[in-house]
Chain A
Amino acid sequence: MNKYGKFAVLMAIIVGSLGFLAYSGIQGNTTYYKTITELRQMGDGAKVRHVRVGGDVESNSIVHAAGGVMFNLVQDKQTLRVSYEGRDPLPDTFRDGAQALADGRLGPDGVFHAQEIQAKCASKYAPKPGMAPDQLQPGAKPAVVNSPMRSSL
């Protein structure tokens, strides 16, 4: 084999094996972003896939129970029952009315079993450009960086 052939073979091996790793990795390590409506429409697919849903935490719905925390996530008037079963403590920003992202799977019981919760306080969004100053409450926070999100970091 001439030298260019050798180079070509070596490079093909390297690129090929990386390509294989990348492709095969996509099967297992992905998270699908879904709305609650989409999640309902996914049918059985939702029960195997790792999904991320977002929404607002319904007020007075947080219940601390043995082995986890139950709460309702509301998005576009759709409500999803979520059971948090992750190991890490919930972030400080997780509370009534907060915006939350839940990562997990939809169980056969229709309850979403989350392994990770990220939350940010809805009142702490950066003011949109052009917002009147009286809405700029002192003490409100721009979202330069979100909450610590320990669970996701």
Chain B
Amino acid sequence: MENVGALALLLAFCISLYAIVASVVGRLRNRPFLTLSGERAVLGVWVLISTAAGILIYSLMTGDMRMAYVASHTDHGMPAFYKFSAWWGGQEGSLLFWSWILSTYAAVVVVTSRGKHRLLMPWVVAIISSVQLFFLTLNAFVVSPFQVLALDKVITSVPNGMGLNPLLQYWAMVIHPPMLYLGYVGFAVPFAFAMASLIAKAPGDAWIHTTRRWTIVTWLFQGTGIMLGSAWAYHVLGWGGYWMWDPVENASLLPWLAATAFLHSVMMQEKKGMMKVWNMVLIAGTFFLCIYGTFLTRSGIISSVHAFAESPIGKYFVGFLAIGIAATVWLILDRLQYLKSDAELESVVSRESSFLFNNLILLASCFAVLWGTMFPVLSEKFSAEKISLDAVWFNRLMVPIGLFLLFLTGVGPLFAWRRTSMESLRKNFQWPGVGMLVVVAALFIGGMRYPYSIISLGLCFFVAATILMEFIRGSRAINEKTNIGLIPAMIELTHRNTRRYGGYLVHMGIVLMFIGWSGHPFNQTAVGEVNKGDVLRVGSYTLKVLDLTQGDHGDYQWDTATLDVSKNGKSLGILEPTRRFYKIAQQGTAEVALRTRLNEDLYINYAAREGDKATLQAYVFPLVTWIWVGTVVLIFGTFVCLVPSKVARSWARTEVVDVKKVNVPVKA
């Protein structure tokens, strides 16, 4: 079985190589049958990698303990769900997973774009296949998932595997890696189209229109993946944080920031024909940051709490990155004359300029995160001292950057193209601006003294107000014509221009997340060693320890504290934080007791027990729920962006706009 899997990977490697050669030769020599065979080779690669993946999954599910990968990532007692997720739980499997997603994407591209872009497709196939070839090299020759355990050349099996870390046995942690991978890998497609249009000297922005949905979906996957990781940390690890600027977190944030910049700056190219070189640089940067992130999490060059086992694959990644970046830079420089801008910047107070600053800030934050992440490596190289920067340093930079971005989120979309008149500034920003000052003053008078939180909440109000005004203004105009009521008018408005209003919803999600982050300085903590009958106070909560119990549950031992919770003397019921200790893994996990409300979370962790006394950590986290609410709004807004707009079609029939009674939903 494992031989079939290894053979499939080997064949996939050969066929990927063939796909590259056939596409390039077929395109240059103008032999359609060769380019067609290149496209079919991509489908063949998908079948082969799926076969290999299927065999690995089968071995994982049936618990074939002869295989090194199965033995080190599963055990017989694990639920099937987690056995399946072991596919991406370790180094070898996760790289195969990477390969498989890439080949799936490639197959989808081939099937959906075959009829279109005849001149681009061979190059697209060649570029995606080159990336595929790199990963198949790793899969087939360097870190094969199909290694078997052997003792003196005799294949042996172990009675039981080592299982999965109990901390990872949590639903969000099972879907978090695939989400991130779907994001990481997905940027290969827009990258391939961008480079293909450069190679083919294709005029225009065809690559942007073709890959817009790819980019958005990929961006959504990545953002969701990051937030799932965050939610997991908050709910499972028992320390109550959601982000610590760990290198692996940063690795996932980097391409996301670059992609966010890209999503904004392509609008400049679509609408105004500007920033063409910049967009090429951004999409290439995003793609290579994805590869770099994959590299960072696996090579062990930076110590991280998430680290995979160290392995020899680092140098392969460095080689691939070096070749890829060099080729991209050369290509862009060589084709500069095809990337001339069609327009010039005219004013500092314009939509163009707000995009420019948005990009500058996103890129600056990207660079700051990259710099901070790499600092231990850089400092060791240049000063012989290995120095790491802590979260305080990151926050020091990223908080002002974030606030400035939030400000741009508010003003950018309302600036007019080219230049903005004083009149329109007044119309758009008078009330939100006044409101913001009122909020800031109220918070200050109310006793709030953290400048960043005050500014953040003020800006949140400002941005939310500008967004709401846009919705209300637009739907009022529709309502006046059609009299369908304000709410249906709002839906109609959004449907007419899903990109614009979906984008506003995404911005609204970001605003809500900022509200959540603003609560951070007001976190309250209490740690106490308590006995039965003791009382622990945190914020306005009083926790009375009713009982401390222990028990054994086979796999793990547990300790539970039964707490009577009251706030300002009013009883809120019972909370039971629990601590488990898994015997086989020798690993403790926290089952945090959480009381979630929109204004604050009460978060209690059973940290440790010594004798009769339990150490409890109690926290109050104000506003933290808004981070998760904002994430949901952001995801919803992104979906709205993906619905096709009605505008393009209704322009063609503007003359019948008045009799538009039949709002036939446009089907995609």
Contacts and interface: CB of A to CB of B under 8 A. Distances in A.
Interface of A: 3-4, 6-7, 10-11, 14-15, 17-18, 21-22, 25-26, 28-33, 52, 87-90, 92-93, 121, 123-124, 126-127, 129, 132-134, 136, 138-150, 152-153
B168 A30 contact: no
Contact of A153 (B163, B241, B347, B390): B241
Contact of A141 (B150, B360, B586): B586
Contacts of A133: 71, 149-151, 156-158
Interface in B338-396: 345-348, 353, 356-357, 360-361, 364, 368, 371, 376, 385-390, 392-393, 396
Nearest to B616: A89
B158 A32 contact: no
B308 A144 contact: yes
Q: In the complex, which range does the number of interface residues on chain B fall in?
A: 35 or more
B396 A21 contact: yes
A129 B572 CA distance: 54
Nearest to B312: A129
13 contacts: A3-B348, A7-B356, A10-B357, A25-B393, A28-B392, A32-B387, A133-B156, A138-B158, A138-B161, A141-B585, A144-B89, A144-B165, A150-B239
A13 to B, nearest CB: 11
Contacts of A90: 608
A153 B242 CA distance: 9
Given A3-B347, A132-B151, A32 B385 contact: yes
Contacts of A139: 160, 162, 584
Contacts of A143: 307, 309
A2 B98 CA distance: 50
Contacts of B585: 124, 141
Given A25-B396, A141-B587, A134 B151 contact: yes
Given A87-B527, A149-B305, A150-B238, A136 B360 contact: no
B637 to A, nearest CB: 27
A93 B167 CA distance: 14
A32 B151 CA distance: 43
Contacts of B161: 138
A9 to B, nearest CB: 10
Interface in B66-90: 71-73, 75, 89-90
A29 B233 contact: no
B309 A124 contact: no
Given A7-B348, A29-B392, A88 B527 contact: yes
A121 B311 contact: no
B454 interface: no
A29 B393 contact: yes
